[in-house]
Structure 1
Amino acid sequence: MENQFRHLTSLIGDPVRSIILWTLLDGRAYTAMELAICADTSPQNISMHLSKLLAADLLTVERQGRHRYYRFSRQEVAYAIEALANLIPQKKNKKPVTTIDTDIKYCRSCYDHLAGKVGVLLTENLVTKRVIELDDKAYQVTQKGIKFFSELGIDVATLKDKRRLFAVPCLDWSERKYHLAGSLGAAMLAQLLELDWMRRKKDSRAIYITAKGSSELYNNFQIEV
């Protein structure tokens, strides 16, 4: 176990591979060339790093036509990378810093679910309203919650049948509090995007809130944006 852990941390700790893993946190699949550009390295070098990540089962690859697309092998890898970011020391600013609404710390995707300040506030509101309850290391949806999510267009029963974690707390690296992950968290973000309450910022994990979304987030979750 110790040797396996040492091998895993050495894989993640490499500068090029760490950029690959950080880039994939936006939930999209990337080609080797795209990842080489993000990591500022050559196609030959990126191929070697991708091979090591594939061998360690951190990534998976899918072929579409002439292209090969890389993504995380499972959502637990994304959670682990996001959790590692919590080890980054908080900067002590002498002057207050104004938060920009589209900033990645304010509202972003963490793999396939909502994160940042907005993601944390939304999760806290769901807990306060007893829509979900933290039970040990997972969230449970209450009877009130089943109705709440149904009205939002989310079928809880269908999500529970999926072969992945249903509703788990994911420690937010910028807020140092939990946001909602798992299939329920993914469904939440997908539905908020579908309803046009939120939109993805091009070429970024940042998500911005529409005028409609600003009103609906306050009405449904008491979040002022």
Structure 2
Amino acid sequence: MKEGPDISQIGALIGDPARANMLTALMGGQALTASELAGAAGVTLQTTSAHLAKLEAGGLIAQRKQGRHRYFALADDEAGRLLESIMGYAANRGHLRTRPGPKDPALRKARVCYNHLAGDYGVRLLDRLVADGDVTLDGDDAALTPAGEMRMAALGIDMPALKAQRRPVCRTCLDWSERRSHLAGSLGEALLARFIANGWAKREKNSRAVRFTGEGEREFVALFP
């Protein structure tokens, strides 16, 4: 008798092209309607409903209701980490989908990875924090140093609130486009939220891309050269 976790069920859920496209769309961190996910997957609304039911039963997504409307989002951070890891693994082995167009460079430069900053700017952020001694790395594990805590507080990050959360403050996440790690965890989410709140950057509509303003880019590069 075979024992242990059954990865075939998760593999089958993610392996379907339509469901994979839906999950990738949800990596933007926003809750989407069934109609929006049908468009992302390129299938009918009826087929989308069947796919969503399977993904929800498999624990990969969760349904949110607001009035008469239903929205779908990734179930939790763990689901987001799983998908980003698979995307990184696929990219490292050359399994890439080419979608030419003006959005591609923007996605490579800066994008949302579930709830934190990814792409070139995400990698740059982690590299600078490590170089400055604000974050230490031990393999895939990351930790914020006392100097790093002071730096984050100076940027307006509520460190006591982050520490009170159950999830890690710092965590590395393999970036599928840069093939290196960017910063995740509650700190990664808080920093992206701070950049947006400061008016340095904004989410691009219907995309995972993050657009920095001219001033925002100057501020970002000054902090993380």
Match of 1:106 among 103, 109, 120: 109
Q: Which runs of 5+ in 2 are unaligned?
A: 96-101
Corresponding residue for residue 185 of structure 2: 182
Aligned counterpart, 2:98: none
Task: Count the aligned residue pairs.
Answer: 215
Q: Distance in 1 between matches of 2:21 and 2:140?
A: 29
State the one-letter code of the partner of 2:41: A
The match for 1:200 is 203
CA contact (8 A) 1:101 1:208 kept: no
Residues 79-107 of structure 1: CA deviation (Å, up to 9, x unaligned): 2111212213449xxxxxxx989520111
2:172 aligned counterpart, secondary structure: strand
**Which of the numbers 127, 132, 141 marks the counterpart of 1:129?**
132
Residue 69 of structure 2 aligns to which amino acid in structure 1?
H
Find out whether 1:48 has 2:66 as its counterpart.
no
Cα distance in 2, alignment partners of residues 133 and 22 from structure 1: 30
Identity of aligned residues (%): 39
The answer to whether the aligner puts 1:14 opposite 2:16 as a matched pair is: yes
The CA RMSD measured in Å over matched residues stands at: 1.9
Matched with 1:120 is 123
Aligned-pair distance for 1:193?
Answer: 0.7
> 1:23-71 CA distances to partner (integer Å, 9 max, x unpaired)?
0000000111111121121111111111111111111111101111111
CA distance in 1, matches of 2:52, 2:126: 34
Structure 1 segment 87-166 matched on structure 2, within 5 A: 87-88=90-91, 89-90=93-94, 103-166=106-169
- Paired position in structure 2 for 1:95: none
TM-score by length of 2: 0.90
Is 1:26 the counterpart of 2:36? The answer is: no
What TM-score, normalized to structure 1? Answer: 0.90
Distance 1:167 1:203 in 2: 28
CA–CA separation in structure 2 for the residues paired with 1:21 and 1:31: 13
Match for residue 94 of structure 1?
A: none
